[in-house]
Amino acid sequence: MTRSILLSTALVSLFALPAMAQDKENFAASGATGIKLKVSGQVNRAMLFTDDGNNSDTFFVDNANSSTRFRFTGSGDLDSDTSLGFVIETQIQSNSSTDVNQNNRTTNNGATFTERKMEVYIDSKTMGRVTLGQGDMASNGTSETDLSGTSVIAYSSVEDMAGGLFLNDKTTNTLLPIKVGNVFNNYDGLSRRDRIRYDTPSFNGFQLSTSAGDNGRYDAAARYKASFGDIAFDSAVAYSNDNNDNDTYNGSFSFLHKVSGISLTAAAATVDLDNSADPRDPLMYYVKLGWQTKDMTAYGATAFAVDFGYNEDTLTADDESKSYGIFVVQNLDRVGTELYAGVRNYEYDAPGATKYDDMLAVMAGARVKF
């Protein structure tokens, strides 16, 4: 019942948007005293073809690189320096590309909403921002800086394309209880949690953040972005501790040569496991070379990229995971849309007698934003 009410409310809101937009003048008010409410979101659907070495499958998925979602944000000025606001962001995924697999081609049939952000904040231009509620921990996103323009289909979280698929035993031709998502990880900090977070103001492109979350989680991050002539640079590093347990050190950077459109992106992470009996020493690195141009079509920028991702000690000691792919994204600026396609191969190897088939994934789809 509650779900029905939520769905109805959301649908009524969405269908009412164009009419509300036309009547915007009736709502708008000038000056700094207004409370601003924004509605935004996206639908991101794709077809996913996979070949596990024994069988091929086709899925109709919600692209987990950037899930279908919508959000409401509100803000108002307390005075000339300080504002208050909130964020509510929820996602609705049917057949997430990290859930579907050879045995389960349909997931989340009820298509329920799942929480992403529910937070309030107070923001001072001189003192920084304090945020309370569920949202990004300070370290979230620090493995994922990327200026290639292809992140809707490929970024350092390489498993988002087909993470739910089971690997195939090369010798016996049977599916193993190991998913692609079990052997790749970009160790992108502590994700979204219920927490309190503080961000400093940005000083010449530098910004520091820290947060403390439920179950003793805490982290800290530094971000820097700048332009040097024709070069745009974006970077982040973080330390995080999950449940007073494992220590994660991670970071990423991305260069974009604005004139040529050529970009270079890299990320790396290591985890210091708290359990001394665990022989693993997890490591991840990722590199991507991209090129984007606005001169290929009149619709918007076209972006190409090739990437390579590497993990070791992810599932068992001395295991190795490699992934590489090639991707293209076509922006359609007038309708807030990206068309995309890509091919990715996953390889896994671990000590022991078991030999693993590669997993090939091909995805094509569209992300429509509003």
Decide if 147 contacts 263 (C-beta within 8 A).
Answer: yes
- Of residues 75 through 104, those in contact with another protein by CB under 8 A are 76, 89
Interacting span for another protein (CB under 8 A) from 140-148, 202-210, 211-219, 351-359: 140-148
- Give the residue with the Cβ less far from another protein, 259 or 353: 259
Beta strand spans in the chain (E): 35-51, 56-62, 69-77, 82-92, 113-124, 128-136, 166-168, 175-179, 192-199, 206-213, 218-228, 231-242, 246-257, 262-272, 283-293, 302-312, 320-332, 337-349, 359-369
- Give the residue with the Cβ less far from another protein, 14 or 127: 14
One-letter identity of residue 63 = N
Can you tell me the distance from the alpha carbon of 8 to that of 72, in angstroms, rounded to the nearest whole number? 16
Name which position in 3, 36, 125, 355 contacts another protein (CB under 8 A).
36
Interacting span for another protein (CB under 8 A) from 27-35, 107-115, 169-177, 202-210: 27-35
- Give the residue with the Cβ less far from another protein, 41 or 213: 41
Decide if 84 contacts 78 (C-beta within 8 A).
Answer: yes
3-state secondary structure of 200: coil
DSSP class of residue 258 equals: T
- Give the residue with the Cβ less far from another protein, 167 or 305: 305
Name which position in 55, 202, 260, 316 contacts another protein (CB under 8 A).
260
- Of residues 317 through 346, those in contact with another protein by CB under 8 A are 333-338
| First CA to last CA distance, the chain | 28
- 127 contacts another protein (rule: CB under 8 A): no
- Of residues 40 through 59, those in contact with another protein by CB under 8 A are 40-42
Interacting span for another protein (CB under 8 A) from 97-105, 120-128, 279-287, 291-299: 291-299
* Count of residues engaged in binding another protein, rule: CB under 8 A: 62
- Of residues 4 through 23, those in contact with another protein by CB under 8 A are 17-18, 20-21
Decide if 363 contacts 63 (C-beta within 8 A).
Answer: yes
- Give the residue with the Cβ less far from another protein, 83 or 101: 83
Name which position in 6, 7, 39, 366 contacts another protein (CB under 8 A).
39
- 35 contacts another protein (rule: CB under 8 A): yes
- Give the residue with the Cβ less far from another protein, 175 or 344: 344
- 132 contacts another protein (rule: CB under 8 A): no
Can you tell me the distance from the alpha carbon of 26 to that of 141, in angstroms, rounded to the nearest whole number? 38
- Of residues 142 through 201, those in contact with another protein by CB under 8 A are 144-149, 151-152, 155-157
What separation in angstroms does the CA of 49 have from each of 54, 89, 165? 14, 30, 11
**CB 220 to another protein: min, Å:** 20
Can you tell me the distance from the alpha carbon of 367 to that of 314, in angstroms, rounded to the nearest whole number? 31
Place of tokens 């904040």: 121
Decide if 187 contacts 250 (C-beta within 8 A).
Answer: yes
DSSP class of residue 99 equals: T
**CB 325 to another protein: min, Å:** 15
Decide if 175 contacts 52 (C-beta within 8 A).
Answer: yes
- Give the residue with the Cβ less far from another protein, 20 or 127: 20
3-state secondary structure of 32: coil
Name the site residues for another protein (rule: CB under 8 A): 17-18, 20-21, 24, 27-29, 31, 33-42, 65-66, 69, 71, 76, 89, 141, 144-149, 151-152, 155-157, 227, 230, 232, 234, 256, 258-262, 291-295, 301, 333-338, 368-370
